[in-house]
Structure 1
Amino acid sequence: MNLPDLSIRRPVAVVMVFLLVVVLGVVSLGRLKLDLMPKMTIPVAAVITTYEGAGPYEVENMITRPLEESLATVANITGINSQSASGRSLVVLEFDWGVNMDFALLDVRERIDLIKGFLPDEAGDPIVIKFDPSMMPVMNLAVSGDTGQAKLKQIAEDEIGPRLERVPGVASVGVAGGLVRQITVDIDQEKLNAYGLSLQNVVQTLQAENLNLPGGFAQTGTLELVVRTLGEFTDLRDIAGINLATPAGGAVKLSEIAAITDTFREQTGYVLLNGEPAVSLNLQKEAGANTVDVSRRVRKELEAIRAGLEDGVTLSVVQDQAEFIQEAIGELRNNAIVGGLLAVFILLLFLKNLASTLIIALAIPISIIGTFALIYFGKLTINMMTLGGLALGVGMMVDNAIVVLENTYRLRQEGASLADAARDGASEVGMAISASTLTTMVAFLPVVFTRGMAAQIFRELSLTVSFSLLASLFVALTLVPMFCSKFLGLRKKETALEKEPEQAAASSRFYSVFLGKYRQALGWALAHKKTVLVLTLLVFIGTLFLIRFIGMEFIPPMDQGEFYVNIQMPRGSMLTETSAVVEQVDAVLAEIPEIDTIMVSVGAGGGPGFGGDSPDQARYIVRLREDRDRPVEEILEEVRRGVAPVTGATIGAYSASAMFGGMGGQRLSLKIKGDDFATLEEIANDLVELLKEVEGAREVSSSLETGRPELRLAVDRAKASAWGLNAYTIASQVRTAIEGTTATKLRINGQEYDVLVRLRRDNLPRIDDLYALMVSTPYGTTVPLREVTSFITMQGPVSISREDQQRVVTISAGVAGTDLRSITQEFQRIANSYPLPPRYSLEIGGEAQEMYEAFGELFLALLLAALFVYMIMAAQFESFIHPFTIMSTVPLAAIGAIWALFLTGHHLSVVSIIGLIMLVGIAVNNGIVLIDYINNLRRRGMKINEAIIEAGAIRLRPILMTSLTTILGLVPMSLGIGEGAELSASMGVTVIGGLTSSTFLTLVVTPVIYAVFDALGARFRRRRANSEYV
C-alpha cells in the first residue's frame, strides 16, 4: 500500500484519522499518571525473624546462619546479606534481574518451612517481605502551636492521623514527638521494704482493684436485675486510697509509700520545627498508589482539617515528594516546548516560507499527542524518562517531514504537477526515511533487553523515543504529502525551496559563502584523501585520551531542594547529651541564609523513615528556599565545614535521593570480609583513618559499632526455682524497678491513660543497690535479687553483618568535589596496598559497584546498537560495503560527544551513555541521506568526484536543517536549569556534541571514505575480471 498516494486521494479520511489520533492522545493524557521515575521492580526480598532476649551472637548462630544455609539453595539468588542484632534477624536476598518475584517468594517460603522446626521455640515465625521502592514515606507533616506538646500529640493522634488514614492511597500515618499524659506511681523503696512489700505486690493490687465485672442476674419480685461489681478507678484519689496487704497481716495505703501524680511519660525523643516543639506525621502510601494522586488527595483533606483546628495550632507540610515530581516534570515539559519552538524557528529561517514551515511543524504536536496515546496503551506513566524521551525526540520529529518536503520541491522544480510531486516526493524517500527511523529505533532495542537498574530506568525513555519517531514517520508519509498537494500550490511567489540550489543559496549571503567554501573544502578533501583520513584518525585517537579526564558516576545527582543531617552519638548516650549536639548543629544551620524549614527528630519516636531509634540519634530534614543561588551540594559543603569542629558525635550531611524515595546515603563502600570480629575491627579502624585522607571523601565511617554497655543478669535456675521464681518473673520485676510497668489504665473523660508503677527517680538503683532489690515470690515473701542471679558486665557489637554467609564490616563514605570513579580508584589503591591477614578480603561496593555493572551492560548495548544499525542499512542499500561507509559517522559523533562532556564538566554516567547509544542511531541518518543521493547521481552517469560534490551541495541544506532542529530542540534540556534537570542534562550535552561533530565531519570525511571504498571495490573487480580472463 502506497501511503502518500492514499493520503492524497483520500484527504478527508486522512484528516479524520489524525483527528482520531488527537482525540485518543488528549484523552490518554488526561488519564496518565505523574511520577518521578518509571515503576521499578527491584529483585530483593527480606526475611525478618524476632528472637526476644537474645543477643547478636545468639541471633547469628541460632537464627541467621540456619536461614542463610537453607535460603542459599533458592533458585536465581545472586547474593545473601544479613544483619543479626539484639532480638532480631534480617536476611536480605538479592535475585537475578527479571526474575518473577512472586514465584521466587513462594520458593523462599518453602525453604523457610523446611527449617522452621530447627529454630528456637522462643523465636517468632520468619516474615518474608518483598522490597518495594514506594515503602518510604511520601509526605512529612508537622503540627505546631502554643497549646502544649501533650495537646499537639493528642490532636495528631486522635484528629489528624485517623482522617488522613482514610484518604485513598494512604497506607499508614506515623506520629512522633510531643508528650503523652500518664499517671505515675513513684514508689519509695525504703518504705516498700519496711512493709515487706515488693513492686510486684503493688502492680498486682492495682490490676485487681481497677475493674468493673458483671455478676450475673438477681431477681426481686417479678424483676430481673443485672448484677455488676464496680471497682474501676475514676480519679487519682481512688488510686491513692487502695490498701496493700502486708505479709504481717496488716494493710497500708498506696499513698503512704508512693507519690501518685498526673504527669507525662518520660521523653525518649522529641521533634522540633524551626526550633519550636512540634509533632510530626509521616505518611506512607499503599503499594502501587500514585504519589502525585495521593498528595493531591491528602492536601485537599488537609484544608478541611485546618478549618477545624483550634486557634494557635498550625498544620504544615514539611516534605512532599509530589512537589519535586511536579516541578521536575514541569521543567522537562517546558524544555520540550522551548526546544520545539527553537526547531520551528530554524525551519522558518531556512525555508523563508510560512506555509512550508507550518506543514513541517505540524509533525511535532501531532507526533507528541499520538505518543501520549501509545504511552497510555503501553501502560506507562508521565515521568522524567517518558518526558525525557519526548524532549529528546522533539527536534527529530520534523526530520522525516523535511526530507519529504525537500524532495517534493525538487520534483516540482523538474516540472511535475503538484499532486504528482507530493506523491512521488514522499514515495521516493519513503524507504530512506523509514530506514533512518528504524536505525534510531533499533539503537534503543538493546537497552530494552539489558538487565539491571539502568534498564529499569531507561526502558520507558527508549520506548517513548521510538513511539514519537514512529508517529512522526506516519505524519511524514501521510499528512505532509496531503498538505503539500493542497496548500503549497496556492502561493504564486517562488519560495526559497522552489529555486535552484544556487539560487536558493543566493537568497542568503551567509549561506552562499558557506556553500562555496564547502564545495572547495570537499574538493580539497577528495584530492587529499590520505591526509583527511590520517588527520581524522589522529583526532579520534586524541579524543579517546580525553576520557581519562572525564569523571564517571552512576546517575547524576539531582538538586531536590532539601538535604538531611544525621547525628550519631556514642552508644548509650543520654537524650540530654544528644540535645547538646543538636543545639550546636542548629547554630551552624542558622547561619545559612538559603534554609527555609528545619525539622529535627531527636532520639526515639521520629517515626518510620524519619526519626532515630534511640536517644543517641537525631535526624534533620532541611528544606531550602526556592529563590536561592547556590546548589544544594555547595550548601552541604558549608554544613560539613560548620559541623566539623563538633566533637563527641558522628555527623553526616547528605543530599536527598528522590529517585529512590529515601534519605540520602553514602555512595561508596569498602567491604571487609572475615570471621574474627577483633581482626575485622582492627582492619576497619586502620582503613577508616587511611580513607579519611582521600580527597573528596566525606563522612567516612565503619558499620562496626560497639554496643552500649550491658549489665547482664544470669538467673540461677535452681535457686530461683526454690523460691518459686523463673526468668520471666525476675526480669519483669527488675524492669518495673528501673523502667516501670504499666499496671493498669485510668479513664478520664473518655480518654485512657497509663498508670505506671516504678521506683522514685531518686531511688533508681545503682549497680550496688540493684543487688539488694527485693523480688516478690509466689509464697508471699520477698528475696534479694542477688540470691537468685549473678551479674555480668559486657559490651558487644550492636549488630553482626554477613554477606554470602561470611561476616562483613562495611566502610562507607560520601563523595563531594570529585567524581565517583576517581575516588573509587583511590579507595581501590589503598585496599590493594593494605596487608590483609589470611582468609580476609576487601571488596568495593555501593554505588560504585552498581555503576560498573551498569556500564558493562550499556557498553554491550552500544555495540549491539551499532550492529543492528548496520543490519538495517545493509538491508536498505543491499550492500555490505556502503553501510560501513555510513557507520563512519559513529566515531565522528563520538569525537564531539566526548569533547562536549569534557568542556561542560559533565561526567560519564548511564545517562550520557544512553545519549551515546542514541547517537549511533541518529548520526547515521545524515550519512544515509548523503550516500543515497550520491548513488542516485552516479546511476545518472556522473563521475564519482562530481557526484560526491554535487550531492554534498544539494543535500547540505536538508542535512543542516535536520541537524539544527535536533540540536536546538535539545538545548533547553542540556542547560540543566530547574528542578531535576541535572538528570537529563548530560544526555542532551552528549547528543548535541556528537551530532554537531558528526554533521560537519560527515559532510567531508564520509564522502572521502566512500571514494576510498569505491576505489578499492573497483580495483577488486578489475583483479577478479583479469583472473577470470586469464
Structure 2
Amino acid sequence: MNLSEPFIRRPVMTTMVTAALLLFGLMAYRQLPISDLPDISFPVITVTVTNPGMDPETMANNVAVPLEQQLMTIPGIKSVISSSRQGNTTIVVQFDLSKDIDQASTDVNSAINNASGNLPPLPAPPSYKKFNPADTPVIYVAVTSEAMTMGKLYDYGYTIIAQRLSMLSGVSEVSIWGSKSNVRVKVSPDKLAAMNIGINEIAEALVDSNQSLPGGTVYDASIAYTIVPKGQVTEGAGYNQLIVAENQGNPVYVKDIGEGVDSIHDEGFYLRYWDKDKGEIPAVIVAVTKEDGANTVKLCNDVRDYLTVLEKQLPASIHLDVIFDRSIMIKESINDVLLTLVIAFILVVSVIFLFLGKASSTIIPSISLPVSIFGTFAFMYARGFSIDILSMLGLTLVIGFLVDDAIVVLENIVRHQQMGKNPVQAALDGSKEISTTVLSMTLSLSAVFLPLVLMPGIIGRLFHEMAVVVVASVLISGSISLILTPMLCSRFLVHTDKKSRLEEKADRLMERLVAIYEPALIWVMRHRLVPILLGVASVVFAALLFKSVPTDFLPPGDTGAMLGVTLTSEEVSYDAMANRQDKVNKVLENNPYVDKVISMANFPELLPPNEGVVFAGLVDLNKRPAIAKIKEQIDGEFKKLSGIQPFLKPIPQINLNVSTSVDRADYSYAISGIGDQDLLYAKVQELTRALQNVSEITDVSSDLEISAPQVSLEILRDRASMLGVSVKTIEQAIQLAYSGSRISTFQTPINIYDLVLQVDDESRQTPDMLDKIRVSSSLPEDRKTLIPLSTVVRREIVNGPLQVNHINQLPSATVYFNIAPGAALSSALQRVSDEASKIIPKQFFGSFAGQAAIFQGTGPEMAALLLISILIIYLLLGSLYENFFHPLTILTTLPGSIFGGLLTLFVFQSSLSLYAFVGMIVLIGIVLKNGIMLVEFANEKVLEGKEVSEAIIEACKVRFRPILMTTIAAAMGALPIAIGIGADASSRRSMGLIILGGLLFAQMITYFFTPVICYYSMRAGRSITK
C-alpha cells in the first residue's frame, strides 16, 4: 500500500489541505498567549495568623501547633512548614501535585475551623490563600509622592490602585508593600499613676468613646428621618479631647495623660525606593501577580495602560513608576528565540540548496518547514499551550530534522527519476519504497520524547509542553513528507540531463567524498575489531565524562532584576536595622548597572526583626553585562560591609522553592526531629560552621536565630492574689502598654483603620521602664489603688528565639547555601550531605528541600527516562522490522554520540543542566534517524539476494548523501543556540553544544561503526533463521 498515492493523484486537494493548515496555524500564532515559561501550578496554600506582641515561642506553641495538628490530617499532604515570629505565624501547606487546589482550600478551611477551639483569643481569625511559588509578580509599580505620608500613600495604593488592578483580566493577586494608617493613643505611665488610673481603664474608655451603632429612624406626618450618630473619631488629634476617666471629680482628657497621633500600622516600618534619575522618593510598592494561563505580555501591557488612566485620577503629587516589567525580558527572550529559529531556518535551507544544487529541489523540502511549524502552532492553540522560551526552543532544535523526512523522500524520488521514470511514476514508486523508512524515523523520534511527555513531578510539568510540541511537530513533519512532498515532486521536479553548474559541483563534491569514504569503509569492514574497540572506548569515556562534567539544574536566567535578604545580629533595634539597611542600599545605588532599588525592613508580617529585603532592577540589557557578572561585582562590595550580611540573587524565571519567607539562597538543607531541641539547635549551628568551610558552596546561613534578648516576666501569683490583681489583668496591662495591638477600629469612606493604645515613646526605651507600669486592683473601692508591675512580677533578661520553625509539626532549622562558581551541583550537594551525616545525630531527620530536593529526585528520573526511551525505540523498531537485531544495530549509535556531546560540554566548560538533558534526547532522535536510513536500505538489498557485506557497503554509499545532509541540517538548527544568540542565551547554550558535539561523533559512528554492527547483526539473524 502506498500512503502517498491519493495525494499524488489529487494535487488540488493536497494543496487545499496544506493551505488550510497554514491558515489555521497563522491564526493560532496570533492568538497564542506569550509567557517566559509554561505555567506550573504548585498546590500550595498559606495560612497566616497575627497576634501583635505575642512572642515567637508562644505563637509557635499556642497558634502553630493546634493548626498543624489539624492540617496534618488532610489527605494528600506533602509537607506542612511553619514559621512563627513575634506577633505572626505563617504556615505553608504543600500538597501532592495530583491534589485539586479547590478541594485543598476546602480541606484547609475545615482544618482551621476544627482548630479554632484550641487557639488563644485573636484580633482576627486565621486567613488562608492559594499560593503558587512559581508565580512571582510580573510587574512592580512604585506609588510615589513627596507631599504625602506613608499612610496616605498606602490608602491610595491599596484602595485606588491595587483594588482596581485586581479587576483586570488575568490578574491573580495584587500585593502592596507599605504600612497602613492608624491612630495611636500614647499615654504616660507617670501621669496615669499620679491620677490613680489604670491603663486597662483607658482602653475601656476609648472603646466606649469610639462606637458606630445604628440610630434608626424617626417619622413625622410626612417625612422619615434617618438617625446618624457620629460616635467615631477618625483623626489622632480628635482623641485628645475625649474624656477617659475622672480624677477627684474632674474629667480626665486624653491630652492630660498623653496624646493621640496619626501613625502607621508598623511603627518602625522601613521602606526606601531609589531611582537612578530621581534619587530617593517616599513610596509604597504595588506588585501584580498573574493567573495561571494568563498572557504575561498582554497583562503587563494592560496594567501599564490602566496605570496611565489611573494616574490622571490621582492627586497631582502622586506619580506611578513601573519599577520592573517582566514582559520586557520575555519579549526580548522570545524575539531572540524566534530570531534563532529564523537563522536556523535559513541555515537549513542553505544546506539543502548547497547539497542539491537546484532551486526546485531545494524549495520542495523547504516548504515542509513552514507548514510543519504553523501546523504545530495550530496544535498548540488547540491544546491551550503558550508561546514560551521552551516551546520555541523545541521548535528551533527540531527544525534541523523537520526537513529530514522530506529530504529523504525527495532524494529517493530523484533517484527513481534518474532511472528514466516520469515524475508521477517516480513519485509513486519512490514514496512507496521509502514510506517504511519515514514511518520508522518519525515514530522512533516521537518515541524518544514520549517519556518526557509522561514524566511525573515538577520537572515533568515544566518540560511537558515542550516535549508535546516537539512530538507534534515531528508527526506533522512526517505526515507532510508523505502527503505534500511526493505531490510537489510529481508536479515540479523535472529531471533533465543537463545540470546546472551548482548541481554539477554538488554532485562532484559528493562523488569525491564517496570516493574517499568507500575505501575507508572497506578497510573498516575488513578490520572490524577496530571500530568495535573504539565503540567500547566511547562508552567508557562517556561514563567518565558523566562524572567530570559539572552538573546544574535550571540556570536562573536573566530576568533583569535581583532579589535578596539582608541579615544582621539578633539583638538589633529598629533604628540600627534601618542604618544597616542604608549601607546595603548605597552599594546598590553606586553600581552603574542598577537602575532602581527597593529596600524594606522592620516588617513583622513578612520578616523577623533582624532581616530585610532588597530588590535591584537593572538597566536595559544592551547597556550592561550579564546579570551574573553584575552580581559578582555587587557581592564584592557587600563583603566590605560590617554589621550586616546581604544575600542577593537573580530573580529566577521559575521559583521551585516553597518557603515561609523570601529565599536567602537557591538551595537548602532542612533538619527536624523529636528530642532534645537544644541539641538540635547546637548541631545545626555546628553544621552551618562546617559548611562555611566547604569550597563548593557559598553564602551559607541558617534560619536558626535563638539568641535574641527577651524580658522574661514571672508573675508572683501569691502576692498578686493578696493584692487583688489577677493574672489576666497583669497580662492585659502589659499587652496594652507594649504590644501595639488593636483595641478598636474606625471607618472612613475608603477604608477601615485600627485604634492602638500604648505607652509613650520614652517609656519604651529600656526594660527598666516596665517598672513604671501600674495595674488595677480588684480590692473594694475604698481600698482601690494601682499596684506597681514590679510588685507582682519578677523581671529577668534572657535569650530567646526570633522565630520558631516547624516541619511537619517537628521543631526544625534550615541551612541555606548557593553553589560556588564553577562547582558541580551534584558534587556540592554530596559534600553537604556528607557533612550533615557526620554532624547530625540519627535521632534527627535531615534532607534537602526545595530546588535541591527536586534536583536529587530528577537525576534518577532522567536516567530512567533515557533507558525507557531506548527500550520504547527498540520495541517499536523491532515491531516495524520484524527483527530482534536491527534495532540493536541502530541503537549502537547512541554511546558515541553521547560521548561527543559530553566532551563538547567539557571542552567549552558548560554544565550538564536540564536544558542539556533535553538536548541529549534530541541528539538521540537525530542519531537514530541516520541509523534507520542505513539499516533499512541494507536490509532491502539483503532481501534482494545480495551478500551481507556487499549490501552494507552499497547502503552506505547510497545513503551517504542524505545522512550527511540531514546531519548538517540538524547541526545548523542547533548552531544558533550553541553560539548563544540573544538576551538570555547563555543559560540555554549547553543544549546546542551537546547536540553539535554529539552529531560530529555520531556522523563518524554512522559511517564506520554502524556498518560493522549491522554486519554482525545480519549474520546473527541469518544464523538464527537457519
- Relative to the length of structure 2, the TM-score reads 0.89
Distance change (3 Å), C-alpha of 1:491 and 1:109: farther
Provide the alpha-carbon RMSD of the alignment: 3.7
2-side partners of 1:745 and 1:1013: how far apart? 86
Distance change (3 Å), C-alpha of 1:86 and 1:953: same
1-side partners of 2:202 and 2:260: how far apart? 13
**1:866 maps to which of 846, 866, 870:** 870
Distance change (3 Å), C-alpha of 1:821 and 1:934: same
Q: Does 1:648 align with 2:649?
A: no
Shift of 1:315: 1.6
Cα distance per residue 1:554-597 (max 9 Å; x no partner)? 22331222212321222342232122222322333244322222
Pairing 1:656-735 to 2, within 5 Å after superposition: 656-660=651-655, 665-674=664-673, 675-706=675-706, 708-714=708-714, 729-735=729-735
Distance change (3 Å), C-alpha of 1:765 and 1:736: farther
Greater CA deviation, 90-99 or 376-385?
Answer: 90-99
Distance change (3 Å), C-alpha of 1:485 and 1:531: same
* Aligned-partner SS, 2:403: helix
Determine if contact 1:144/1:273 at 8 Å carries over to the other structure. Answer: no
Q: Does 1:768 align with 2:768?
A: yes
User: What amino acid sits opposite 1:646 in the alignment?
Assistant: L
**1:300 maps to which of 285, 301, 305:** 305
2-side partners of 1:219 and 1:542: how far apart? 98
Shift of 1:436: 0.5
User: What amino acid sits opposite 2:517 in the alignment?
Assistant: Y
Cα distance per residue 1:213-240 (max 9 Å; x no partner)? 7877789999987777767669888655
* Aligned-partner SS, 1:627: helix
Counterpart in the other structure of 2:413: 408
Percent identity over paired residues:
28
Distance change (3 Å), C-alpha of 1:26 and 1:772: same
Shift of 1:850: 1.9
Shift of 1:43: 5.0
2-side partners of 1:811 and 1:49: how far apart? 25
Cα distance per residue 1:745-780 (max 9 Å; x no partner)? 899999998776544433447433423422346768
Shift of 1:430: 0.9
Greater CA deviation, 233-242 or 809-818?
Answer: 233-242
Q: Does 1:462 align with 2:467?
A: yes
User: What amino acid sits opposite 1:340 in the alignment?
Assistant: F
Shift of 1:847: 3.1
2-side partners of 1:219 and 1:849: how far apart? 72
* Aligned-partner SS, 2:997: helix
Counterpart in the other structure of 2:532: 533
Cα distance per residue 1:609-645 (max 9 Å; x no partner)? xx74547524233324312453222222222221113
1-side partners of 2:72 and 2:156: how far apart? 48
2-side partners of 1:49 and 1:753: how far apart? 18
Distance change (3 Å), C-alpha of 1:399 and 1:183: closer
Shift of 1:399: 0.6
Greater CA deviation, 775-784 or 469-478?
Answer: 775-784
**1:796 maps to which of 785, 795, 800:** 800
Distance change (3 Å), C-alpha of 1:173 and 1:836: closer
Determine if contact 2:703/2:813 at 8 Å carries over to the other structure. Answer: yes
Q: Does 1:952 align with 2:947?
A: no
Shift of 1:454: 1.9
Greater CA deviation, 786-795 or 744-753?
Answer: 744-753
2-side partners of 1:644 and 1:332: how far apart? 37
Determine if contact 2:926/2:967 at 8 Å carries over to the other structure. Answer: no
Shift of 1:352: 1.3
Cα distance per residue 1:450-478 (max 9 Å; x no partner)? 22222111111111111101111121111
Pairing 1:293-372 to 2, within 5 Å after superposition: 293-309=298-314, 311=316, 313-372=318-377
1-side partners of 2:593 and 2:224: how far apart? 75
Determine if contact 1:142/1:273 at 8 Å carries over to the other structure. Answer: no
Counterpart in the other structure of 2:176: 175
1-side partners of 2:995 and 2:733: how far apart? 71
User: What amino acid sits opposite 1:355 in the alignment?
Assistant: S
**2:612 maps to which of 617, 641, 648:** 617
Counterpart in the other structure of 2:911: 907
Cα distance per residue 1:868-890 (max 9 Å; x no partner)? 11122212222112222121111
Determine if contact 1:604/1:615 at 8 Å carries over to the other structure. Answer: no
Distance change (3 Å), C-alpha of 1:739 and 1:506: closer
Q: Does 1:391 align with 2:392?
A: no
Determine if contact 1:83/1:89 at 8 Å carries over to the other structure. Answer: yes
Determine if contact 2:711/2:796 at 8 Å carries over to the other structure. Answer: yes
Shift of 1:88: 6.1
Determine if contact 2:66/2:115 at 8 Å carries over to the other structure. Answer: no
2-side partners of 1:505 and 1:870: how far apart? 40
Counterpart in the other structure of 2:884: 880
Determine if contact 1:46/1:128 at 8 Å carries over to the other structure. Answer: yes
**1:634 maps to which of 601, 604, 629:** 629
Pairing 1:255-294 to 2, within 5 Å after superposition: 255-258=255-258, 266-274=267-275, 275-277=279-281, 278-286=283-291, 289-294=294-299
2-side partners of 1:484 and 1:209: how far apart? 93
Shift of 1:63: 6.2
Counterpart in the other structure of 1:251: 251
Shift of 1:171: 4.1
Greater CA deviation, 267-276 or 1004-1013?
Answer: 267-276
User: What amino acid sits opposite 1:620 in the alignment?
Assistant: F
Shift of 1:208: 4.6
Shift of 1:942: 3.9
2-side partners of 1:827 and 1:587: how far apart? 34
Determine if contact 1:740/1:759 at 8 Å carries over to the other structure. Answer: no
Pairing 1:465-614 to 2, within 5 Å after superposition: 465-489=470-494, 493-494=498-499, 507=506, 510-604=509-603, 612=607, 614=609
Pairing 1:839-850 to 2, within 5 Å after superposition: 839-840=843-844, 842-850=846-854
Counterpart in the other structure of 2:926: 922
User: What amino acid sits opposite 2:690 in the alignment?
Assistant: L
User: What amino acid sits opposite 1:602 in the alignment?
Assistant: A
Distance change (3 Å), C-alpha of 1:765 and 1:511: closer
Distance change (3 Å), C-alpha of 1:54 and 1:413: same
1-side partners of 2:224 and 2:129: how far apart? 55
1-side partners of 2:125 and 2:203: how far apart? 31
Determine if contact 1:272/1:601 at 8 Å carries over to the other structure. Answer: no
Shift of 1:960: 0.9
**1:897 maps to which of 892, 901, 906:** 901
* Aligned-partner SS, 1:37: coil
Counterpart in the other structure of 1:1027: none
2-side partners of 1:513 and 1:584: how far apart? 70
* Aligned-partner SS, 1:658: coil
Shift of 1:1006: 0.8
Counterpart in the other structure of 1:165: 166
Distance change (3 Å), C-alpha of 1:723 and 1:765: farther
- Relative to the length of structure 1, the TM-score reads 0.89
* Aligned-partner SS, 2:385: coil
* Aligned-partner SS, 2:800: coil
2-side partners of 1:222 and 1:305: how far apart? 45
* Aligned-partner SS, 1:557: coil
Shift of 1:400: 0.7
Greater CA deviation, 530-539 or 144-153?
Answer: 144-153
In structure 1, the gaps of 5 or more residues are 498-503, 1025-1030
Distance change (3 Å), C-alpha of 1:148 and 1:919: same
1-side partners of 2:637 and 2:672: how far apart? 35
Shift of 1:710: 2.5
Distance change (3 Å), C-alpha of 1:526 and 1:970: same
Distance change (3 Å), C-alpha of 1:375 and 1:774: same
1-side partners of 2:226 and 2:104: how far apart? 58
1-side partners of 2:259 and 2:56: how far apart? 39
2-side partners of 1:600 and 1:631: how far apart? 23
2-side partners of 1:280 and 1:479: how far apart? 56
Shift of 1:522: 0.7
In structure 2, the gaps of 5 or more residues are none
Distance change (3 Å), C-alpha of 1:686 and 1:356: same
